[in-house]
Structure 1
Amino acid sequence: MTQQRGNRRELLAEAAIEVLAKEGGRGLTHRAIDRAARVPEGTTKNYYPNRSALFEAIAHYLAERHTAALEELCDQIPEDLRPEEVTALYAAMLRRMSGSAQTQFLALFELHLEGVRNPEVRKMLGEISRANVDTAVRLHSAVGRRISVRGAGLLDAGMLGVALATLSLPDDLVGELGFGDPEATSRALLTLARARGESSLEVLRDSAS
C-alpha cells in the first residue's frame, strides 16, 4: 500500500509539471492535474489540499531528481576530463533546457515566480541552485581551473536567463543575440564565470577552450 501511495504521488507530480509548463501558474488546478494524470476527480486534492501544496510538491520533486542527477554526474567525473568537454556539457544543458527538457525548465521558471511568495518553494530552488554551483566548482577543479562560488552562481543564473530568453524572445532577436548557438553561448558564460576566480590574463588565455 505504501508503494502504491508513493507511485501515486510521483504520478501526480509529473502530471502537475506538465500542467504548470503548459498552462502556467494560473492553470495549475486540482482538476487539471487529475485530467493530466488520468485519475478520478478529487484525487489530487486528497494529496495536496491547496495551491501552495501543489507548488511545493512540484518543487520537492524537481529538486530531489535534479540534485540526484548532479550527484551522479560528479561521482562519474573522469580523471582525464578536458576543459572543452566541460564547455560541451554546458552547451548540451542549454540545448536540453530549450529542447528535450523544456517542460521541466518551464515548470522551474514558474516555480521561481512562486518562490517570491512561497518560502518552501524558495528553499527547494535554493537546493537546485546550490547543486548547480557545487557541480560547476567540481567540474572546474577536475580540469585544473579555478572558479569561485560567486562565479559559479553567475554561471547558474546566466544559464537560466539564456534558456528563458531562447524560449520567450522572438527568433530573430535570439539569433541576433547569438543565443541560438549553445556552444558559443556556453563558452562566453564560462569565461565570465571564471573571471571571478582567475586573473584577466588567465581567462583570456583559456576563453578559446
Structure 2
Amino acid sequence: MERLRHFLFVRHGHNWILLLRFGLVGGSGVLVNLLVVVLLNKLGPDEEGVFAGLPLTDFNIRWYHVFATAAFVVANLWNFQLNRLWTFRSNKHAGWLGEYLPFMAVGLLAHLVGLGILTLLLHPGSWLSLSPTFFDDSSGFRTRLYWAQLIQIVVTTPVSFVLNKLWTFSSVRSRPALPPEPGPEDAAVDGSPEAAAAHARHARRP
C-alpha cells in the first residue's frame, strides 16, 4: 500500500497538479462553451432544424451540431491559451501556431466524439436520448441541448487531457527555451557600425 501511495502521489504527483490545472482551465472553458451555445440557441434557428443533409445518406447535420462546433472553436482557443501560459507553461519553448495546430487536432478528435455523443443524447430514436418529459425546454435548467452539451464535454475532457499532455505540450516542453529577441542593449556587444548607431539612437531616447 505504501509503495502504491508513493507511486501515485510522489512519483506522479506532478501529473496530478497538471490534471488539476487542466481541469480548472477546462472548467472555465466549459462556461465559455455553454455561454456560446446558449447565445446561439437564443439568437439562431431551432436547434433541431436541419442545417444540411449528408450526401448519399439519410442523415442530417442539425443546427445543434453547428452550435456545438462554433462553441468548440471559441472554447478551444480559450483553453489553449490558458494551458499554454499556465498549465503546461510551454509558451517559452514553441511558437503559438506550431503548438496550436496539434492542440486543434486533438480538440477536433475529441469534438467528433462529442458530436456523436451529442447526437445520441438528442436524437429521439436513440437509446441514450435524454427524456423529453423532464428536459422539456421549459427553462434553461430543463433545456436538453444544454445538458447534452455539458455531458459530452465531461466525457471527452479526459481524452483531451491525456492526448495533449502526451503529445501537444510534452513535445515542445522538451525543447530548449526560445532565445529572447535581441534588444538595443545587445547592440552594444556587437562592434559593427550599424549596431553602434542603433545603440546610440536608443540611448538618446527620453
Same fold (TM over 0.5): no
Higher helix share: 1
How high is the TM-score relative to the length of structure 1? 0.34
How high is the TM-score relative to the length of structure 2? 0.35
Largest Rg, 1 or 2 = 2
